[in-house]
Amino acid sequence: MPVTSMKSLLEAGVHFGHKTGRWNPKMRSYIFTERNGVHIIDLQQTMTRLDKAYEVVRDTVAKNGVVLFVGTKKQAQDIVATEATRASMPYVSQRWLGGTLTNFKTMRTRIDYLINLETRKQIGELERLTKKEQLLLEREMVRLNTRLGGIKILTRLPELLFIVDTRREDLAVKEAKTLSLPIVAMVDTNSDPDPIDHVIPANDDAIRAVQLITSKIADACIEGQQMRAALAAERDEQLAQERAAQHVFEPDVEEAEPELQLPQPATAGEPVIYGTVFEPDPEDNEQL
């Protein structure tokens, strides 16, 4: 069953591309026609590729993967932050900081510093400082949260990126390709589809279009999490059944104490040494 309908895509304006004079020729195969100087995206391909992208995202999350949502343009900021949060995924909705991926170790150090400041504030440790020091640290927390707040839950490199506008987020695309991280992206008629692993041809400027596509990617994340939880529950149940079966079939028999073996009485003429019977030597009998 398709992730969305043709009607929903039309109502959201997903089919409207850019003016013909601003197009990228590499997007030719995704363009249906031209109308009033504007390219019209082939929504049949959009549906097919959105379905494929949905499966990729869902399966990635089901395998305990992390999807990083990226959208810093004004139309996408709130949508990306809201949908990524709904899916419990990290996001970048403000300016992309160089090295977010390629220098993640340093970036993680700054995130840990931010978390430490917030923890100190919660336990009241900052109240011991002067008002000026508190004010400076408050400003620092606001600044860091603006830049890094969306990736505080990112403890390792993501397995996949979802990008709203690849032309605007060219730095994120370059870093992802440097690290061989796959990309799912909304690609408009003025963008280059070549670096993108899973292209979703779509209008990346209209708010309703961004909302529709981004929400479907978030839905895929949520479904993947549900699949992962179901698989974990199934494994736990199977393990419990195996343990129960072993308990049923194992005989509950106490280990018997070894029976004490008493030496048999020796017959006449047979010497006994420590309970062991020896045959008499014939020569000894002759001497006797």
Q: Give the per-residue pLDDT at 233.
A: 84
Phi, psi of 162 (to 5 degrees): -115, 120
C-alpha 172/C-alpha 100 separation (Å) is: 8
pLDDT tens for the chain, 288 residues long, are 899 999 999 999 999 999 999 999 999 999 999 999 999 999 999 999 999 999 999 999 999 999 999 999 999 999 999 999 999 999 999 999 999 999 999 999 999 999 999 999 999 998 889 999 999 999 999 999 999 999 999 999 999 999 999 999 999 999 999 999 999 999 999 999 999 999 999 999 999 999 999 999 999 999 999 999 998 887 887 888 778 777 766 665 555 566 656 556 555 555 555 555 445 555 554 544
Name the one residue in this structure whose structure tokens are 């004010």. 135
Cα 77–chain centre separation:
22
Fold observed for domain 6-96+158-235: Rossmann fold (3.40.50)
Q: Give the per-residue pLDDT at 244.
A: 78
DSSP string, 169-226: THHHHHHHHHTT--EEEEE-TTS--TT-SEEEE--SSSHHHHHHHHHHHHHHHHHHHH
Q: Give the per-residue pLDDT at 261.
A: 62
Q: Give the per-residue pLDDT at 22.
A: 93
Fold observed for domain 102-156: Helix Hairpins (1.10.287)
pTM: 0.81
Digit-coded pLDDT (tens) for 157-172: 999 999 999 999 999 9
Q: Give the per-residue pLDDT at 288.
A: 42
Digit-coded pLDDT (tens) for 60-76: 999 999 999 999 999 99
Give the N- to C-terminal CA distance of the chain in Å, as an integer: 107
Phi, psi of 199 (to 5 degrees): -80, 130
CB atoms within 10 A of CB 84: 27
Cα 25–chain centre separation:
34
Q: Give the per-residue pLDDT at 206.
A: 96
Name the one residue in this structure whose structure tokens are 């601003």. 22
Domain locations in the chain as residue ranges: 6-96+158-235, 102-156
Residue 212 sits at the vertex; the CA angle it makes with 163 and 177, to the nearest 5 degrees, is: 15
Q: Which of 44, 35, 2, 22 is nearest to 188 (CA)?
A: 22
Q: Give the per-residue pLDDT at 187.
A: 98
